[in-house]
Amino acid sequence: MDKNIHIKLEIGRDPTTGKLGVITRFDPNAPNFTKDEDGFTWHPTSEERELLNEALEMISKKKSI
């Protein structure tokens, strides 16, 4: 795994709508992931943003077929 990617992506089908979606799993030990009294904060790396964009583009293309 790229040293700047601390997430895992899964493609899943929403049981209610039947539509495909991207599920993101976070590494709680990642340096860009923090938890405080208000909840969790994620500051995606540029590599993580690119990975998410590619996944969403892939799903978007699949829907248009």
Structure tokens at 27: 């590494």
Q: Which pLDDT score, from 0 to 100, does residue 27 have?
A: 87
Mean pLDDT of 6-22: 89
Reported as a pLDDT band with limits 50, 70 and 90, residue 12 is confident
Structure tokens at 28: 């709680």
Q: How far apart are CA 40 and CA 54, in angstroms?
A: 24
6 to 3, 26, 34, 41: CA distances (angstroms):
8, 7, 12, 13
Q: pTM of the prediction?
A: 0.72
Tell me the per-residue pLDDT of 40-54, one tens digit each, with 9 for 90 and over.
Answer: 899 999 999 999 999
CB 59 within 8 A of CB 11: yes
| Geometric angle at alpha carbon 10, from 6 and 14, rounded to 5° | 135
